[in-house]
Amino acid sequence: MPDASRQPPLVSILRQGPYLIASIHEALDDGQLTRFQHALVEQVGRHRSHGVIIDLAEIDVLDSFATTTLRNLARMASLRGASTVIVGINPDVAFAMARLGMPADIAPTALDMDDGIAILDEWTV
């Protein structure tokens, strides 16, 4: 039986100056998404972060619950004073979201981490 403590985390949240960078490394179930949401919003307050970048580059599926959770996370972070940018949406995920009519207004998006940081730098000056 594999040792759970040796498995890589499903999500990593790192502090980069006034920003938090959350990278989701694999698809999360509903409970994991909810725990991620609470942990990230709590860290926004603890670190007095001005911005949050959520990196979805490793995600190949984004269902309606995940979309709603990300939208709510962006709203909660905003209420705590942080802007949110989502980066790295896989082209297949974007295509599926558009075809299924999932809302695209989750949060502002950027191609990659550099573009996401540039957007936050512009907003938080």
Contact 87, 111 (CB under 8 A): yes
**pTM score:** 0.87
What is the dihedral angle through the alpha carbons of 85, 80, 40, 36, rounded to the nearest 10 degrees?
-90
What residues pair up with 15 in beta bridges, in sequence order?
Answer: 20
pLDDT tens string 8-66: 578 999 999 999 999 999 989 999 999 999 999 999 999 999 999 999 999 988 888 88
Q: How confident is the model at residue 75 (pLDDT cuts 50, 70, 90)?
A: very high
Residue 14 class from Cβ within 10 Å (0-12 exposed, 13-18 middle, 19+ buried)? Answer: exposed
Average pLDDT value for residue range 62-87: 92
For the chain, domain boundaries:
7-120
The CATH number given to 7-120 is 3.30.750.24
